[in-house]
């Protein structure tokens, strides 16, 4: 097993050394991981928590790590000795994997000694940014089918390396894909695998018919034939029908055909008609070939006859948004007496001003229909009283207000790690995918649609908003005096 402890940026350790020298390294702090505006879609599907915790709870500086750090001539021997014994001893709170989340929401909070919390930043962002990005792209693609057919993840050969392929396929399952072509992901996470043949299979035989017949002999009860190697409608589909008839005569039921190129709308409609007329109305039509949510939506609008979708490159690389801007920011210092000193980062860009202090996140649901109404970010010690009406307001455009009645409030941040020990039982990948599907169903379509979605409300509690504004005013006043 690889030791990924040094999966971090140099400045995490140079800061760590500075904290150590100033005797601030054991100061208890709170960091939040959250996303800013997501241009991919209004929501994201949180993913990667299990792998992130595996990193956090298993880091260890082995002798090779220490020797390498010594060679940089940046750190003292006593600091290197400190690192040799450093383990994560803090707490982690996070939303469950598969939860739909929105910009500015703390989806993971670390409360730990400063040096540990700071050191964790890079790896946590690396893991959660990537898997959340792919899970979100998968969700978009799967939703584009409108429930018409299943989506299979086919992206391994185009992923940016083995880890991106393995964990990207995992994230794609969370987002809604039903299977993957990736065997190691199937084995590791116990999820279905899918795949049949490549064009090379057909090309290796003297004729397309011989190639199809040989494949049918090998897989008589799982015969999915790739029909676009030469001429889809003049050769591929007729030869597939011929082999299907032979299979049926032997008591087997053919599975269907796959189209990988050409005008998929036209070809699927023609192929469907040909197979129906030949007596195979149950034979499936699978398509692949640089698909994404836009092309899938277009194909369905054209009346394409497609039962399953194999999606690769544009899913596993999230082609239209290759990186998700998750950030990890200091929000509080915990004093020795347990009191909280809030921290805030200011910016001329309103979206980059952070929400201060140790926080919690609530989702408000309509009691009558169970649908999500809004999310509310609060101070950690606040509770939301759902027995009486609640007025929520936009964090910036505060004149935008909405009174919520007959609702229930659910805290979304769960305790994952306590005192350096895992206290949360991770569900299976299948369970995460099913949970995510159920949670997404609690949102109205207008928040999830591909084009011009309605913005979902993410508001601050009165106490948190008051604290934030007072800190902004206080810092700006202090800055003004410094200039004088």
Q: Which residue has the tokens 């092309």?
A: 295
Average pLDDT over residues 1-24: 95
Average pLDDT over residues 217-239: 97
Residue 166: how many CB atoms within 10 A of its CB?
19
pLDDT tens per residue, range 26-61:
999 999 999 987 665 689 999 999 999 999 999 999
| Two structure tokens written together for 117 | 């919390």
Q: Which residue has the tokens 């299943």?
A: 150
Cα angle 238, 244, 245 (rounded to 5 degrees) comes to 95
pLDDT tens per residue, range 360-415:
999 999 999 999 999 999 999 999 999 999 999 888 888 889 999 999 999 999 99
pLDDT value at residue 227? 98
Predicted confidence band of residue 348 (pLDDT cuts 50, 70, 90): confident
pLDDT tens per residue, range 298-344:
999 999 999 999 999 999 999 998 888 899 999 999 999 999 999 99
pLDDT value at residue 1? 65
Closest residue by Cα to residue 342 from 472, 232, 476, 196: 472
Above 80 in pLDDT, residue 441? yes
Contacts with 44 (C-beta within 8 Å, 6 or more apart), sequence order: 35, 38, 100, 101, 102, 132, 133, 135, 136, 324
User: Whole-angstrom Cα distance, residue 88 to residue 333?
Assistant: 17
User: Whole-angstrom Cα distance, residue 382 to residue 387?
Assistant: 15
Average pLDDT over residues 70-76: 98
Asked if residue 165 lies in contact with residue 312, where contact means CB atoms within 8 angstroms, the answer is: no
Predicted confidence band of residue 479 (pLDDT cuts 50, 70, 90): low
Percent of the chain with pLDDT over 90: 90
| Two structure tokens written together for 1 | 């097993």
Closest residue by Cα to residue 141 from 325, 311, 390, 396: 311
**How many residues are there in the chain?**
484
In sign, the C-alpha dihedral spanning 34, 39, 44, 49 is negative
Predicted confidence band of residue 484 (pLDDT cuts 50, 70, 90): low
Ordered alpha helix ranges (H), 72-198: 77-84, 114-119, 121-144, 162-175, 183-189
Asked if residue 195 lies in contact with residue 180, where contact means CB atoms within 8 angstroms, the answer is: no
User: Whole-angstrom Cα distance, residue 359 to residue 251?
Assistant: 63
Q: What is the DSSP string of 420-445?
A: TEE-SPPPPHHHHHHHHHHHHTTS-H
pLDDT value at residue 325? 85
- Give the sheet arrangement for strand 224-226, strand by strand: 179-180, 150-153, 308-311, 284-288, 256-259, 224-226
pLDDT value at residue 38? 60
Asked if residue 241 lies in contact with residue 270, where contact means CB atoms within 8 angstroms, the answer is: no
Domain 135-316, classified CATH 3.40.30.10, yes or no: no
User: Whole-angstrom Cα distance, residue 298 to residue 262?
Assistant: 14
Q: Output the CA torsion 417→32→389→399 (10° steps).
A: 180
User: Whole-angstrom Cα distance, residue 62 to residue 235?
Assistant: 61
| Two structure tokens written together for 481 | 């005096």
Asked if residue 216 lies in contact with residue 249, where contact means CB atoms within 8 angstroms, the answer is: no
Q: Is 463 left (phi over 0), alpha (psi -120 to 50) or beta?
A: alpha
| Two structure tokens written together for 439 | 């949670």
Superfamily of domain 10-134+322-483 in CATH is nicotinate phosphoribosyltransferase (3.20.140.10)
Domain boundaries, given as residue ranges, for the chain: 10-134+322-483, 135-316
> Measured between alpha carbons, how far is residue 456 from residues 103, 267, 305, 379 in Å?
10, 39, 34, 21
- Provide the whole-model pTM: 0.95
Average pLDDT of the chain to the nearest whole number: 95
User: Whole-angstrom Cα distance, residue 252 to residue 399?
Assistant: 67
User: Whole-angstrom Cα distance, residue 454 to residue 444?
Assistant: 10
């Amino acid at each position: 097993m690889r030791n990924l402890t040094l999966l971090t940026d140099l400045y995490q350790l140079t800061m760590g050394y500075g904290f150590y020298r100033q005797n601030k390294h054991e100061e208890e702090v709170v960091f939040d991981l959250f996303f800013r505006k997501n241009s991919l879609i209004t929501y994201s599907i949180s993913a990667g928590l299990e792998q992130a915790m595996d990193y956090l709870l298993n880091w260890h500086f082995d002798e090779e790590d220490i020797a390498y750090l010594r060679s940089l001539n940046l750190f003292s021997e006593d600091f290197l000795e400190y690192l040799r014994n450093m383990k994560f001893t803090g707490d982690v709170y996070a939303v469950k994997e598969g939860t739909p989340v929105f910009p500015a929401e703390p989806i993971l909070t670390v409360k730990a000694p400063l040096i540990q919390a700071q050191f964790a930043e890079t790896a946590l962002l690396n893991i959660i940014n990537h898997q959340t990005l792919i899970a979100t792209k998968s969700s978009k693609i799967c939703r584009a089918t409108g429930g018409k057919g299943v989506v299979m993840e086919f992206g391994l050969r185009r992923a940016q390396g083995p880890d991106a392929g393995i964990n990207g396929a995992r994230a794609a399952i969370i987002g809604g894909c039903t299977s993957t072509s990736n065997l190691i992901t199937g084995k590791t996470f116990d999820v279905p695998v899918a795949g049949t043949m490549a064009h090379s299979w057909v090309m290796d035989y003297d004729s397309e018919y011989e190639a199809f017949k040989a494949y049918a002999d090998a897989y008589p009860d799982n015969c999915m034939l790739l029909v676009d190697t030469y001429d889809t409608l003049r050769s591929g589909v007729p030869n597939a029908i011929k082999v299907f008839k032979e299979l049926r005569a032997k008591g087997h039921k053919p599975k269907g055909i796959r189209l990988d190129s050409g005008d998929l709308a036209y070809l699927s409609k023609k192929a469907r008609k040909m197979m129906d007329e030949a007596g195979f109305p149950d034979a499936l039509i699978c398509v692949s070939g640089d698909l994404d949510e836009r092309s899938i939506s277009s194909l369905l609008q054209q009346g394409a006859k497609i039962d399953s979708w194999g999606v690769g490159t544009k899913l596993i690389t999230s082609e239209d948004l290759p990186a998700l801007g998750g950030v990890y920011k200091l929000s509080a210092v915990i004093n020795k007496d347990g009191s909280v000193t809030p921290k805030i980062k200011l910016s001329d860009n309103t979206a980059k001003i952070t929400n201060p202090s140790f926080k919690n996140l609530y989702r408000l649901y309509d009691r009558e229909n169970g649908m999500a109404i809004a999310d509310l970010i609060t101070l950690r010690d606040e509770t939301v009283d759902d027995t009486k009406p609640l007025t929520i307001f936009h964090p910036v455009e505060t004149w935008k207000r909405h009174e919520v009645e007959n609702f229930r409030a659910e805290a979304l941040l769960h305790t994952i790690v306590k005192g350096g020990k895992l206290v949360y039982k991770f569900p299976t990948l299948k369970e995460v995918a099913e949970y995510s599907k159920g949670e997404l169903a609690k949102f109205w379509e207008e928040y999830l649609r591909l084009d011009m979605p309605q913005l979902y409300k993410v508001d601050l509690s009165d106490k948190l908003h008051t604290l934030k504004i007072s800190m902004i005013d206080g810092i700006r006043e202090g800055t003004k005096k410094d200039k004088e």
